[in-house]
Chain A
Amino acid sequence: MRSIRSRAFVPALAAMVLAAVLVATPAAARTDVVAKRQATTTITFWQTMNDEETKTLRTIVAAFSKANPSIKVNMQYVPFDQAQARYATAAQGGKAPDVLRAEIAWIADYAARGFLADLTKHISAADRRDFLPSAYAYGLWRGKTYAVPQVTDAPALLYNKAMLRAANVTVPTTIQQLETACAKFGAGKGIFLRGDAYFVQPWIWAYGGGLVNPLKREILIASKGSVNGMTAYKRLFDADCAFDNEDFANDYGNMQTAFKNGDVAMIVNGPWATADILSGRAFRNRANLGVAPVPRGTAGQGSPVGGHSYVISRRAKNVDAAYRFIQFLSRAQNQATLAAKNNLLPTRKSAYQARVVKANPIISAFLKQMLVARARPVLPEGGAIYTDFGPNVQKVLLGDSTPAQGMLAVAQAWKTKLFRAYSIKR
């Protein structure tokens, strides 16, 4: 029996439920308004440092909070390999954190898309002179500054001094010497080479190759030099003395494990890895870790300059407070602390004057590498080049393409997806 009452009841109920749901959702946003009314500013800070570095960072942040009681810092850890995409997604949705520790390759991309606050007026002339030019240049876009450099790095040749001594091997300075040195070790014990494009770059530069030349609008990855570099890398990768790297998905971890256990004599890695390495059983004696610049080739030498800088989001509620914060983080004294505790290279000339930095043998060794390191082009697409670079390097290492085919595939992918107006130099 359908009564008029029941006919109206159910639709009314449904409408009420729907209305309730619609009202309930924005309710969460109201808490933001309440927070603003309070006196303290809160700064959200996404940091991408590894575990050991985070420990040091925490003490620095604590010191800032103490000196600035009206500014609360909400620090969150985002894994490095997820941070680039996450920040972009958040920024597009209006929920970007106030401060981000960005890898230098991301800065141009973010700046071009309008995510970042212009810091040109905030940075003093004295600071501008103090920062290392290459590190500072990564934060520039169309003449404006968007980033404050924190740390700079480049992979170098890391080696186990005791193993080299035992095999009667001197530290190689050229690729040729590297190959000979490797051969003096037993099967799989000489060097661990990754199946990763970033770490192949030193070989590419060693033979006169390159990535892109923005001035000439050329893609260089398929040039003769690049192909020769890739060929040389593969030759060493396939050599008996090279660790049998069969698992590309996990090879960073495997490389670290093998080196830490003393199963392999040489690896290529950067300063960020040293804290982890020194916790391994082969390096209980810190002095056993050797650092040398990546070897020279017949036509050059180079290691990709990486690094991290602090950026502030354009829509940050309090840009001044945020700048105060990153200014504090990148103070010479704090850079020196990170350098001393975690072997991270400072980006301020003044920081290198600190005694703790000067006395750190690992930093001094990496500094030698920085002198022959190569800066990457500052382009928005810079962060995306590895998406196709990596798999094609792996194809070459697996033997599924020749080095020439592989590098050409990379060049073509870059041309179709990233650098549409560039030409491919053969």
Chain B
Amino acid sequence: MASTEQVPAAPATRAPRGPSLARRLRRGYDRWWFAYVMLLPVVVVMGVLVFFPLARGIAFSFTDADRYTIGGQDIPSSYRYIGVDNYTTLDDDPNFWSVLGFTGIWTFVNVFFHFAIGLGLAVMLNRTLRLRGFYRMLLLVPWAVPSFITAFAWRYLFNVPNGFFDQVLRAIGVDGPAWLGDPTWAKVSVVTVNVWLGIPFMMVALLGGLQSIDKELLDASSVDGASNLRRFWDVTLPGLRPVAATVILLGIIWTFNMFNVIFLITQGGPADETQILVTYAYRYFLDYQLYGVAAAYGVLILSILLVFSSIYRATVRKLGEETWA
């Protein structure tokens, strides 16, 4: 990563106790006024729309806010603080643990296939071949077409008995599975759709990563007599590590919170078997209108992802990566 320090480089915060806080602040302003100004719009927007609501959301999770107490434009709110009750009673809901479990499986299975297939396609597209641009453009279609449309399309393709897949199977005499009706197959189906949706992004990122691997290293390794596989393992994969590490983490975060696919295709069904934490939290928000509990789910999601990403980054760093950010 290119060094980006502005001259002079010494940060003002290292100054000795001598100057007062006001002096130090002023000096900080003098040095980095431009940076702060450039940041101001984003800080304001994110502060108002993300961090402030987040704080409020966390606060809500400690209340009994529901349809009667949340209030509105001229109806005063009347919710009360109830401590950690929303958290301790999370598993009063009989579905809680299975929802949590499926969320984990959902995330890891999806990202695994996103990466594996994305890498495979990227490697293939990295070779010179005719029609490369044509393939690349078409392979990006799942990303370009709005996901709520493709979700509806897949939902109808999976329909039993009127959907395309079931009719094809019946035409060749096979009694197809209940793609969306059987609990296990429904899980397979939603994972399939999400994998289909997520591959283009991975493919593009990894393709770029492949193209930016130092050519000299690759040539050097083949001159040394390495086979294609060896070369891939020893030069390509490590060269990909920075890109791969980032996109995998992003993929995990995005998949964990992927609302559209499940909401639009199975609504969490059948019998709540395809619920993940986000969709289940949404039900608490919209159907039960138990806003305190919905907020608690949100905090739970955030905590899980925070813990996970800390562990992840530490692990990646240990594998010899340079500093992140």
Contacts and interface: CB of A to CB of B under 8 A. Distances in A.
Nearest to B265: A249
A416 B290 CA distance: 11
Interface in B128-157: 155-156
Interface string B12-41: 000000000000000000000110010011
Contacts of A391: 268-272
A109 B289 CA distance: 12
Given A394-B270, A400-B183, A247 B178 contact: yes
Interface stretch (B67-75, B195-203, B211-219, B231-239): B67-75
Interface of B: 33-34, 37, 40-41, 44, 67-68, 70-75, 92-94, 155-156, 158-162, 178-183, 265-272, 283, 286-290
A248 B72 contact: no
Contacts of A418: 288
* Of listed B160, B266, B270, residue having the most chain A CB within 10 A: B270
A247 B75 contact: no
B183 A247 contact: no
Interface string A239-273: 00000111111100110010000000000000000
A284 B99 CA distance: 47
A349 interface: no
Contact of A7 (B33, B155, B289): B33
Given A247-B160, A398-B183, A384 B272 contact: no
A18 B270 contact: no
A246 B178 contact: yes
B283 A250 contact: no
Contacts of B158: 247
Top 5 A-B pairs, shortest CB-CB distance: A246-B178, A94-B73, A92-B72, A246-B181, A394-B271
A404 interface: no
Contact of A93 (B72, B94, B162): B72
A400 B182 CA distance: 11
Nearest to B38: A10
Contacts, number: 106
A10 B34 contact: yes
Contacts of A113: 67-68, 75
A195 interface: yes
A11 interface: yes
B67 A88 contact: yes
Interface in A85-104: 85, 88, 91-94
A247 B180 contact: yes
Given A93-B72, A254-B159, A387-B283, A249 B266 contact: yes
A199 B266 CA distance: 20
A93 B74 CA distance: 9
Contacts of A114: 75
B180 A249 contact: yes
B271 A10 contact: no
Contacts of B72: 91-94
A398 B158 CA distance: 18
Nearest to A263: B161
Nearest to B72: A92
A331 interface: no
A417 interface: yes
Contacts of A92: 70-73, 75
16 contacts: A18-B41, A93-B72, A94-B72, A246-B178, A247-B160, A247-B181, A249-B181, A249-B265, A249-B270, A250-B180, A254-B161, A384-B288, A394-B269, A400-B271, A413-B94, A416-B93
Nearest to B290: A417
B29 to A, nearest CB: 10
Contacts of B269: 248-249, 391, 394
B325 to A, nearest CB: 25
A11 to B, nearest CB: 6
Contacts of B270: 195, 248-249, 391, 394, 398
B287 A247 contact: no
Contacts of A126: none
A295 B75 CA distance: 47
A39 B160 CA distance: 55
Interface in A49-99: 85, 88, 91-94
Interface in A354-394: 384, 387, 391-392, 394
Contact of A11 (B37, B155, B265): B37
Contacts of B73: 92-94
A127 B44 CA distance: 57
A166 interface: no
A161 interface: no
A254 B162 contact: yes
Given A14-B41, A93-B73, A384 B161 contact: no
